Amino acid sequence: MLEYHFDKAGTLQVPGDWNTQQDKLYYYEGSVWYRKKFDAPKFSKTDRQFVYFGAANYRADVYLNGKKLGVHVGGFTLFHFEVTGKLKDRDNSIIVKVDNTRHAEVVPTVNTDWWNYGGLTRDVKLLVVPGTFIRDYSLALSSVEQPHIVGRVQLDGNAAGRSFFLRIPELNVNHRLVADATGVAHYKIPVPKAQFWSPDAPKLYRLEIVSGKDKLVDEVGLRTITTQGKQLLLNGKPIFLRGISVHEEYSADGGGRVNTADKAQTLLTWAKELNCNFVRLAHYPHNEAMVRLADKMGVLVWSEIPVYWTIDWQNEATYQNAEGQLTAMVERDKNRAAVIIWSLANETPVSEPRNQFLTRLVRKARAG
């Protein structure tokens, strides 16, 4: 018996929430099944392929060609599955069951002060990379007095002993790195002529990391953020924050989740028109476009995970969920100059279990 027929079902725009796309789904909490059929792109035998999701609220069960790839829990963080060797040349089928049902033991819990949008709310992509590729990197400015960029690059694949390059052309940086047995290379490179990033002058530099056939290109700002007593120092100088709290919602064109860079830019533009130099992205990690635009527009950012109100403080699975969301938030946005605060919770009633829960998160955040 055929219980559900994808070919005869309705369609939803991705990225996008289902609530504002169909009237009957406006208040809906539960599961919606998505299917996308596609042909595989051209790639070499040594390439690897990944299915990437910017976010799905809240639980996503993902299947490719009838076999389950895995599950992701958490509505505002990216996730991916490797599908190397699992794609057909033609007529692949990816199915995603998204469930936005609220539960007391998850993060966020049942009580929130924002709308529980459901669906594939951010981009879904098929990524093709070389067999050995640049998985991740970190970059920070050591100090304003003796400026160096410091950090690490992580290669994935057969990377031990591989030589590759980190470049910032405008600063005449062309630095050779060698991966260790785990594929990691650490670096500390002087940048004496660097211009520091600030809201008044949000200078960004083109960064290139080149490893064989793989090339990572990014734009990075160089700045320090420290404290002195009760003062916050940006590049060693006191800064006064003039801010506003922003939810990832759009108030025009039918509303709903912000799902394009243009909408994210509109929200930040409104903040700047109010003479803000700072936004609190409440109460969950916003889309990556928002944070990258903050870099370009010179808007400082408070980024937060949705540990909100009455979390199940004594449930270890709840803590692991929160820690996973914290890790994912920091890993995605650690190289954004705009982000100056990693927030762990909002308006949580004080108790000993709550204190222990948040203390563990603080230790995790500070461990890097």
Report residue 254's pLDDT band, with 50, 70 and 90 as the boundaries: confident
The predicted structure's pLDDT at residue 252: 82
Q: Which residues are CB-contacts of 194 (< 8 A; sequence separation ≥ 6)?
A: 141, 147, 149, 171, 205, 222
Specify the CATH number of the domain 225-367: 3.20.20.80
Residue 364's pLDDT is what?
A: 96
Query: Average pLDDT of 251-257?
Result: 87
Please, are residues 49 and 119 in contact by the beta-carbon 8 Å criterion? no
Extents of the domains making up the chain: 6-129, 133-220, 225-367
Over residues 188-193, the mean pLDDT reads: 98
pLDDT of residue 120: 98
- Residue 15's pLDDT band (cuts 50, 70, 90): very high
pLDDT of residue 95 exceeding 60, the answer is yes
Average pLDDT score over residue span 111-131? 96
Closest CA to 60 of 83, 86, 34, 92: 34
* Confidence (pLDDT) at 2: 55
Give the pLDDT of residue 306.
98
Q: Is the model's pLDDT at 78 over the cut of 60?
A: yes
Same fold, 6-129 and 225-367: no
Distances (CA, A) of 253 to 26, 42, 149, 258, 259: 15, 37, 43, 11, 12
Q: From CA 36, how far away is CA 62, in angstroms rounded?
A: 12
> Which CATH number fits the domain 6-129, given the four candidates 3.40.50.720, 3.30.465.10, 1.10.10.10, 2.60.120.260?
2.60.120.260
Percent of the chain with pLDDT over 90: 95
**Confidence (pTM):** 0.95
Q: Using CA atoms, how far apart are residues 72 and 54, in angstroms rounded to an integer?
A: 12
Q: In the predicted model, is pLDDT for residue 253 greater than 90?
A: no
pLDDT for 186 equals 98
DSSP run (H or E) holding 92: strand 92-99
> Residue 104 has which token pair?
């007391």
pLDDT in tens, 205-250: 999 999 999 999 999 999 999 999 999 999 999 999 999 999 999 9
Residue 46, pLDDT > 90, answer: yes
Check pLDDT > 80 for residue 1: no
Crossing angle of helices 316-333 and 352-367, in 10° steps, is 30
**pLDDT at site 3:** 65
Residue 251 has a pLDDT of 84
Its CATH class, for the domain covering 133-220, is mainly beta
Q: What is the mean pLDDT of residues 316-341?
A: 98
Banded model confidence at residue 132, pLDDT cuts 50, 70, 90: very high
Q: Of the given ranges (1-10, 103-112, 121-130, 142-151), which has the lowest mean pLDDT?
A: 1-10
Asked whether residue 140 carries a pLDDT value surpassing 60, the answer given is yes
Taking Cα atoms as reference points, which of 298, 240, 244, 294 lies closest to residue 265? 294
Rounded CA-CA distance 290/250 in Å is 13
